[in-house]
């Protein structure tokens, strides 16, 4: 069902500082910041030859990333994102197998302008999983 690893997301308190680490220290190509108001974050993507790293900074007081950073003050890995060919078929198959889809269960448009869903970490070895339609 799952395809390639699309990205690993890392929550950070200071997007500019974190971006500088990847760009200036590690020499990575970094996208400009993008506000994702529907998800409560501002993001940049670190473009690697085989995948991406997404840096997430909270946007507003109700950001789910803010809550994550409250529990993990130094930041850290927030989720992994896998591509799927058909997000609705993947959702329906996962739900039939007992997996929990977060939110209302309907895909939302993600940072790549493609439909995304999040799966409950308790169903996936403690890892928050994002599915993105390829």
pTM for this model (two decimals): 0.94
Q: Which of 57, 83, 130, 132 is catalytic?
A: 130
Calpha distance 91→46 (Å, rounded): 28
pLDDT value of position 121: 97
In this predicted model, which residue has the larger pLDDT, 1 or 92? 92
Tens of pLDDT, residue by residue over 25-81, are: 999 999 999 999 989 999 999 999 999 999 999 999 899 999 999 999 999 999 999
> Which has the closest alpha carbon to 81: 126, 51, 123?
51
Mean local confidence (pLDDT), 108-123: 96
Residue-averaged pLDDT of the chain: 96
Which CATH number covers residue 103?
A: 3.10.180.10
Q: Which domain holds residue 107?
A: 5-133
Given this model, what pLDDT does residue 115 score?
98
| Structure-block tokens of residue 11 | 């929550």
> Domains in the chain: how many in total?
1
**Is 130 an annotated catalytic residue?**
yes
Average pLDDT over residues 111-124: 96
First to last CA, the chain: 12
pLDDT tens for 59-74 read 998 999 999 999 999 9
């Amino acid at each position: 069902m799952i395809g390639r690893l699309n990205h690993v997301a890392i929550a950070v308190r200071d997007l500019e500082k974190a971006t500088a680490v990847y760009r200036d220290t590690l020499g990575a190509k970094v996208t400009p910041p993008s506000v994702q108001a529907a998800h409560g974050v501002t993001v940049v993507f670190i473009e690697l030859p085989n995948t991406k790293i997404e840096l997430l900074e909270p946007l507003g007081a109700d950001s789910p990333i803010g809550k994550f950073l409250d529990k993990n003050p130094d930041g850290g890995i927030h989720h992994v994102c896998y591509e799927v060919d058909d997000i609705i078929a993947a959702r329906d198959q996962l739900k039939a197998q007992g997996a929990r889809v977060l939110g209302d269960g309907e895909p939302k448009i993600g940072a790549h302008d493609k439909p995304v869903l999040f799966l409950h970490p308790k169903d996936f070895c403690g890892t928050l999983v994002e599915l993105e339609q390829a």
